Amino acid sequence: MALMTGKEYVQSIRDMDIKIYMFGKRIEDPVTDDILRPSLNSVRMTYDLAQEPEYRSLMTAQSPFIGGTVNRFTHIHESTDDLIKKVKMQRLCGEKTGACFQRCVGMDAFNAVYSTTYEIDKKYGTSYQKNFLEFLKYSQEKDLTVDGAMTDPKGDRNLPPHKQKDPDMYLRVVERRPDGIVVRGAKAHQTGICNSHEVLVMPTIAMGPDDKDYAVAFAVPTDAENLFMIIGRQSCDTRKSEGAPIDTGNPTFGGVEALVIFDDVFVPNDRIFMNGETEFAGMLVERFAGYHRQSYGGCKVGVGDVLIGAAACAADCNGVCKASHIKDKLIEMIHLNETLYSSGIACSAEGTKTEAGNYIIDLLLANVCKQNVTRFPYEIARLAQDIAGGSVVTAPSEKDMEDPELGPYVKKYMAGAEGVSAEDRMKILRLIENLTLGTAAVGYLTESLHGAGSPQAQRIMIMRQGDLETKKSFAKNIAKIKGGKDGQE
Residues of the shown chain interacting with ligand SF4 in the complex, contacts defined by CB under 6 A:
100-102, 104-105, 191, 295-296, 299, 443, 447, 451
Using DSSP, state whether 175 is helix, strand or coil: strand
Of the candidates 292, 313, 317, 439, the residue annotated as catalytic is 292
Catalytic-residue membership of 236? no
Catalytic-residue membership of 447? yes
Catalytic-residue membership of 291? no
Nearest approach, Cβ of residue 105 and ligand SF4 (Å)? 5
Tell me the DSSP string of 307-352: HHHHHHHHHHHHT-TT-HHHHHHHHHHHHHHHHHHHHHHHHHHT-E
Tally Cβ neighbours within 10 Å of residue 48. 16
Choose between 149 and 368: whose C-beta lies nearer to Fe ion.
149
Choose between 249 and 451: whose C-beta lies nearer to Fe ion.
451
Catalytic-residue membership of 75? no
**Distance between CA 240 and CA 250 in Å, rounded?**
9
Of the candidates 118, 296, 341, 359, the residue annotated as catalytic is 296
Choose between 55 and 280: whose C-beta lies nearer to ligand SF4.
55
Total residues binding Fe ion (CB under 5 A): 1
Nearest approach, Cβ of residue 101 and ligand SF4 (Å)? 5
416 burial level (CB within 10 Å; 0-12, 13-18, 19+): buried
**Distance between CA 281 and CA 7 in Å, rounded?**
38
Stretch that binds Fe ion, among 255-263, 376-384, 445-453, 469-477 (CB under 5 A): 445-453
With b for 16 or more beta-carbon neighbours within 10 A and e for fewer, the 235-268 pattern comes to ebbebbeeebebbbbbbebbbbbbbbbbeebbbe
Choose between 368 and 383: whose C-beta lies nearer to Fe ion.
368
Closest residue by Cα to residue 63 from 74, 53, 55? 74
Of the candidates 119, 257, 286, 433, the residue annotated as catalytic is 257
Catalytic-residue membership of 191? yes
Nearest approach, Cβ of residue 448 and Fe ion (Å)? 9
Of the candidates 119, 277, 433, 447, the residue annotated as catalytic is 447
Q: Are 352 and 279 in contact (CB under 8 A)?
A: no
375 burial level (CB within 10 Å; 0-12, 13-18, 19+): middle
Using CB under 5 A, pick the residue from 192, 203, 451, 453 that binds Fe ion: 451
Q: Among Fe ion, ligand SF4, none, what does residue 439 contact (CB within 5–8 Å per kind)?
A: none
Choose between 362 and 447: whose C-beta lies nearer to Fe ion.
447
Nearest approach, Cβ of residue 41 and ligand SF4 (Å)? 14
Using DSSP, state whether 376 is helix, strand or coil: helix
Of the candidates 145, 191, 204, 222, the residue annotated as catalytic is 191
The interface with Fe ion within residues 18-57 (CB under 5 A) comprises none
Using DSSP, state whether 50 is helix, strand or coil: helix
Catalytic-residue membership of 347? no
Catalytic-residue membership of 104? yes
**Distance between CA 116 and CA 280 in Å, rounded?**
7
Choose between 200 and 330: whose C-beta lies nearer to ligand SF4.
200
Closest residue by Cα to residue 36 from 226, 200, 196? 196
The interface with Fe ion within residues 215-274 (CB under 5 A) comprises none
Catalytic-residue membership of 21? no
**Distance between CA 273 and CA 283 in Å, rounded?**
13
Nearest approach, Cβ of residue 443 and Fe ion (Å)? 7
The interface with Fe ion within residues 88-147 (CB under 5 A) comprises none
Q: For helices 281-318 and 422-436, what crossing angle results, to 10°?
A: 160
Nearest approach, Cβ of residue 86 and ligand SF4 (Å)? 10
Choose between 180 and 451: whose C-beta lies nearer to ligand SF4.
451
First-to-last C-alpha distance (Å) of the chain: 66
**Distance between CA 175 and CA 184 in Å, rounded?**
9
Stretch that binds Fe ion, among 20-28, 176-184, 378-386, 446-454 (CB under 5 A): 446-454
Nearest approach, Cβ of residue 108 and Fe ion (Å)? 9
Q: Which residues pair with 181 in a beta bridge?
A: 176, 267
Q: Among Fe ion, ligand SF4, none, what does residue 364 contact (CB within 5–8 Å per kind)?
A: none
Active-site residues, by number, are: 100, 104, 191, 257, 292, 296, 299, 447
Judged by the rule CB under 5 A, the positions of this chain that interact with Fe ion are: 451
